[in-house]
Structure 1
Amino acid sequence: MDEYSVIEATMSILLRGGWVLLPLFLIGWLGWFLMFERYGYYFMLKGTSTSKFFKDLDTVGEEAAFAKLRKRRFGYFLALVENVRKYRNDGPVAVRNAMLATRHELDVSLSKSLKTIVTCASIAPLLGLLGTVSGMVHTFETIKQFGFGNPVLLADGISEALLTTQAGLLVAFPLMLVYNYLESRVDSIGDFAWGEALKFEERCFAKEVE
């Protein structure tokens, strides 16, 4: 199937489904675009294991270890341990408060597009229901004008109702699954980075005690 055939088929479906299919189509594209964007961003953010960072601390020293860490893509962990370095002279309370503030900011930043994804997933079935009502109204108007004698005319309204209902569910269902997965991904990235940053914090203050 060539490019023009795909476009023609898409336009045919949009015309048969009525005006509701257009916003459904746009919402679906927006949701999937944000899904791939967030997944790629989280994949890059997780980066490599932090064991290399702790190994570098023992072998090449703190400055070199942080320089190598900045070249990797684990920005969440880097932001937390930078707080430890910056505020450790002010004591453990200042360090922990700075880490908590940074974690909150990072979580908000990571979740900014997830609300849009779940909003798209919530709106899609409602638009599908609106299309169903619109299609049934179309069907009843046809019956009122022409009666039951022409099934082809009745099929247009029924087709509009069914297509929009199906489209709403097809948009909402995968987006909701993706939202749940990405939300758990954010939690796992944050929990792992927080746990590893606490190890560095403990290491820093343990050395001071010694």
Structure 2
Amino acid sequence: MVTLYNLLESIRGFIELGGDVLWAIMAVLLVMWTLIIERYWYLFRVLPGERRALIEQWNERSDHRSWHAHRVKEEMISRLKGNLETNVRNIQTLVAICPLLGLLGTVTGMVAVFDVMAYFGTGNVRAMAAGVSKATVPTMAGMVAALSGVYFASYLDRKADIEAEKLEDLLQHD
């Protein structure tokens, strides 16, 4: 319980250090990782069953060579690929939003620095330092958040193509 309290206190301190924009970055990060985890769940839990069902459906067909059979096969592959690509573009969009939110934090932090400079001049270094931290911490947080999702977004995109090609290979002609 104490460890959880310390963790939450550290997060609160970090958000105070970086400003309110960190709440937005944290919300985007939470949604992004929820979608990433959902996609992995689909890949490893749902996809094998769907693939088996499509292969069985294809094997039950007596006609595998006609023009109509080719269109049915293309539709099956397209349907699976559509299921595989669900939310991948959303994840990529959220990855792209994170650095932009960090930049928004940079701008708001610099505005705070200029406010202090306008009011106190350069005499209040402590207040200026608080504004500088509000300018740099969101930038770092936005970049780290984006980097945490870049690999997974590109992996999921590649995996959709690979799995569609695998299904096409499995649905061979007689």
Settle same-fold status: TM greater than 0.5.
Answer: yes
User: Given that residues 138 and 157 in structure 1 are in contact (C-alpha distance below 8 angstroms), is that contact kept between their aligned partners in structure 2?
Assistant: yes
Structure 1 Cα separation of the partners of residues 63 and 171 of structure 2:
17
Question: Contact (CA 8 Å) 1:124, 1:172: kept in 2 or not?
Answer: yes
Query: Segments of 4+ in structure 1 off by > 4 A?
Result: none
1:44 is displaced (CA, Å) by: 2.6
Displacement of 1:174 after TM fit?
2.3
Alignment length (residue pairs): 173
Q: What residue ranges of structure 2 are gaps of 5+ in the alignment?
A: none
Number of the residue aligned with 1:7: 8
Given that 1:77 and 1:197 are in contact with CA atoms closer than 8 Å, whether structure 2 keeps it comes out as no
CA RMSD, Structure 1 to Structure 2 (Å): 1.8
Q: 1:38-81: CA deviations, max 9, x gaps?
A: 1122123554xxxxxxxxxxxxxxxxxxxxxxxxx3x2253144
Aligned counterpart, 1:192: 166
1:183 partnered with 2:172? no
Greater radius of gyration (CA): 1
Alignment correspondent of 2:39 = 38
Tell me the equivalent position of 2:132. Answer: 158
Q: Structure 1: give runs of 5+ residues left out of the alignment.
A: 48-72, 203-210
Greater mean alpha carbon deviation, residues 34-43 or residues 155-164: 34-43
* TM-score normalized with structure 1 length: 0.76
Q: Which of 88, 94, 115 is the aligned partner of 1:120?
A: 94
Contact 2:58 2:171 (8 Å CA) reproduced: no
Structure 2 distance, partners of 1:194, 1:36, is 26
Q: Partner of 1:26 in structure 2?
A: 27
Instruction: Report the Cα distance in structure 2 between the residues aligned to 1:20 and 1:151, rounded to whole angstroms.
Output: 23
Deviation of residue 93 (structure 1)? 1.7
- Correspondent of 1:106 among 49, 58, 80: 80
2:60 partner amino acid: R
How many Å apart are 1:83 and its aligned residue?
Answer: 3.6
Instruction: Go from structure 1 to structure 2 and tell me whether the alpha carbon gap of 1:151 and 1:165 turns closer, same or farther (over 3 Å shift).
Output: same
1:84-142 Cα shifts (integer Å, max 9, x gaps): 524x3596222111111121122112111101110100111111111101100110001
1: CA distance, partners of 2:16 / 2:59: 59
Distance 2:77 2:33 in 1: 27
